[in-house]
Amino acid sequence: MSSPATRPTIGVFDSGFGGLTVLKELVALIPGADYLYFGDTARLPYGSKSVDTVARYAVEATRFLEAQGANLLVIACNTATALALDQITRAAHVPVIGVVEPGAEQASLASKNGRVVVIATEATVSSHAYLKALERRGVVAREKACPLLVPLVEEGWVEHPVTEQVAQIYLQDAFDDGFHSADVLVLGCTHYPLIQPLLRRVAPPTVSIVDSAHSTAHAVAGRVLELYGKGSPERSAPRLQFFATDSVEKFRRLGPSFLGHRVNWVEHVDLKE
């Protein structure tokens, strides 16, 4: 085990901006760490790519973050976690945590009747990663793809009537036909925390909402405690570095709505195929 005085450097990887919601939770929960965030913005969305392509991109990002000094990796991308976690873990030389298992674990603990609805992107739903993870925990799940929600969030329409109407249509369908009794809704996309208040309004009132970004941060905190101990209470504020494969201006413009504060500096990275 590393010395408790050792300061972890946590690498956070996503195909774009959504993983910043995971980073936000991590910084709040583990202020005694430094963070490297890599957004593969030039090659998003991952949802339309093949499994092999997503795995290749994710492994490239993993190697980049390790080269920058990351000693723990968080795959803050539901699609990459769902499609390529095994390949990433094999390629990495440091511990790796994805977003699916922590979200499924929290949902299984929160559900009283073992029936859960998961909303996510098409690619995550097609992988059935949440369905399988919940089945392993004895929970029956229904997955619902909500492809319109990500572009609406990125448009900044987090409290827009159109977004609320779209979410209502998706959730009515998700909780229909035998799933009226489901008592947990899992946000299986890292964009969805931005519209959680809206989802709370349109979801059945008896349903608990599980945010996989929040669940993942708690799983990472547990791993950091195992590896580094509590560390020194006299720690400076976390250092955040941002890397993007596309426009740094767009990253700086969209990033704050996900992260909750300004993104002052972003380094452009060109990962060679």
User: CB–CB of 124/192 below 8 Å?
Assistant: no
User: CB–CB of 215/25 below 8 Å?
Assistant: no
User: CB–CB of 258/27 below 8 Å?
Assistant: no
Of 133, 152, 189, 220, the catalytic one is 189
CA distance 36 to 87: 21
User: CB–CB of 185/207 below 8 Å?
Assistant: yes
CA distance 198 to 213: 17
Q: Is 146 a catalytic residue?
A: no
Both tokens assigned to 93: 């030389």
Q: Is 269 helix (H, G, I), strand (E, B) or coil?
A: coil
Of 30, 77, 97, 153, the catalytic one is 77
Backbone angles phi, psi at 201, to 5 degrees: -70, -40
CA distance 9 to 66: 10
For the sheet with 115-120, list strands across it: 140-145, 115-120, 184-187, 208-211
CA distance 18 to 20: 5
Selection from 62, 79, 80, 58 nearest residue 71 by Cα: 62
Q: Cis before residue 204, ω within 30 degrees of 0?
A: no
Q: In whole angstroms, how far apart are CA 115 and each of 59, 156, 185, 220?
A: 34, 32, 9, 26
Active site residues: 77, 189
